[in-house]
């Protein structure tokens, strides 16, 4: 059983939902990324979604795009991120999933990528621009390597397509709460609850909601209807605003995460 599966099972026994936090690897540096991961773990985050910086993202809004640009400008590569992960695994067992695009994976080599994930303690992969129909090689290698393949269901997904997404997903199903890209939203669509309920009627696999969630109230509401809540852009913005003061950066990210964690775990 993977770390992701164990975490969801553990939380379910406690009657809690998962807090999944997204950050961009290498923003502002890989050394600081390690500190942020450990700080988030200590602040109540259950699972880390670690973004692999890419030059041409299609699912990310301006905040995360800017973070990827900063990381790439700083010389971050997939190989260096795997090296960082190896170091992280000496001090933490928190479940970590990579969120990336298919181009870096394809260039690195699908089989090699999955082997590197397994070797360096990456528990799952999320690739927004790789539909399950085109992911046979990844699914095959990941299944053999014990790495979760987490696919995205959207408000526009048909019932048939959603069933196929559920079938091919392991770890959890990522429900995108709105059409468009990542980013802070003041209000989330009213149909999220019914959409999540429909997905949950198809499977016993966990369903986590992401995109647009930035406030404790939103996180609490999403936790009440799902198995996990993903918060990204709001955390990345705090990192962006405190690039020059790592101590303040860690403190502010930690305080924000603690507030979101309380809201999710008390829902």
Encode pLDDT of 102-138 as tens digits.
Answer: 999 999 999 999 999 999 999 999 999 999 999 999 9
pTM confidence score: 0.94
DSSP string, 206-265: -EEEESS--SHHHHHHHHTTSSEEEE-HHHHHHHHHTTT-HHHHHHHHHHHHHHHHHHHH
Interval 251-263 mean pLDDT: 98
pLDDT confidence band for 212 (50 / 70 / 90): confident
Q: Is the pLDDT of residue 189 over 70?
A: no
Q: What values do phi and psi take at 39, rounded to 5?
A: -65, -40
The superfamily (CATH) of domain 3-260 is Aldolase class I (3.20.20.70)
More confident residue, 156 or 58: 156
pLDDT confidence band for 210 (50 / 70 / 90): confident
Nearest to 16 by CA among 217, 218, 232, 206: 206
Q: What values do phi and psi take at 22, rounded to 5?
A: -100, 135
Chain centre distance of CA 178: 16
Q: pLDDT tens digits, residue range 84-104?
A: 999 999 999 999 999 999 999
State what percent of residues in the chain have pLDDT above 70: 94
pLDDT confidence band for 266 (50 / 70 / 90): very high
- Distance (Å, rounded) from C-alpha 169 to C-alpha 100? 16
3-class state of residue 38 by DSSP:
helix
The top-scoring range by mean pLDDT among 149-158, 178-187, 255-264 is 255-264
Tell me, what's the pLDDT at 33?
A: 98
- Strand 152-153: give its sheet, edge to edge: 148-150, 124-126, 96-99, 47-51, 18-24, 228-231, 207-210, 173-176, 152-153
Q: Is the pLDDT of residue 207 over 70?
A: yes
Bridge-based pairing of strands 152-153 and 124-126 is unpaired
State what percent of residues in the chain have pLDDT above 90: 83
Tell me, what's the pLDDT at 56?
A: 79
Q: Is the pLDDT of residue 28 over 60?
A: yes
- Distance (Å, rounded) from C-alpha 115 to C-alpha 111? 6
- 34-70: b or e for each residue (b if 16 or more CB lie within 10 Å)? bebbbbbbebbbbbbbbbbbbeebebbbebbbbbbeb
**Lowest-confidence pick of 2-11, 49-58, 234-243, 245-254:** 49-58
169, 150 in Cβ contact below 8 A?
yes
Tell me, what's the pLDDT at 238?
A: 96
Tell me, what's the pLDDT at 188?
A: 55
| Mean per-residue pLDDT of the chain | 92
Q: pLDDT tens digits, residue range 173-185?
A: 999 975 444 434 4
Catalytic residues: 49, 60
């Amino acid at each position: 059983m993977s770390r992701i599966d164990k975490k969801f099972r553990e939380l379910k026994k406690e009657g809690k939902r998962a807090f999944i936090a997204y950050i961009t690897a290498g923003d502002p540096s890989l050394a600081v990324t390690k500190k942020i991961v450990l700080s988030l773990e200590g602040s109540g985050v259950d699972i880390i979604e670690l973004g692999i910086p890419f030059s041409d993202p299609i699912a990310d809004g301006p905040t995360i795009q800017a973070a990827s640009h900063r990381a790439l400008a700083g010389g971050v590569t997939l190989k260096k991120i795997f090296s960082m992960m190896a170091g992280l695994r000496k001090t933490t067992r928190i479940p970590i999933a990579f969120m990336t695009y298919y181009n870096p994976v394809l260039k690195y080599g699908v089989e090699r990528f999955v082997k590197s994930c397994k070797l360096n303690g990456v528990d799952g992969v999320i690739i927004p621009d790789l539909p399950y129909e085109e992911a046979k090689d990844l699914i095959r290698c990941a299944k053999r390597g014990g790495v979760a393949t987490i696919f995205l269901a959207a408000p526009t997904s048909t019932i048939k397509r959603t069933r196929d997404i559920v079938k091919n997903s392991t770890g959890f199903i990522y429900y995108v709460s709105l059409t468009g890209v990542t980013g802070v939203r003041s209000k989330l669509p009213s149909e999220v609850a019914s959409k999540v309920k429909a997905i949950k009627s198809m499977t016993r696999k966990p369903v986590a909601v992401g995109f647009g969630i930035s406030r404790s109230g939103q996180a609490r509401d999403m936790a009440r209807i799902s198995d996990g809540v993903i918060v990204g852009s709001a955390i990345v913005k705090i990192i962006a605003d405190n690039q020059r003061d790592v101590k303040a950066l860690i403190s502010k990210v930690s305080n924000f995460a603690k507030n979101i964690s309380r809201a999710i775990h008390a829902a």
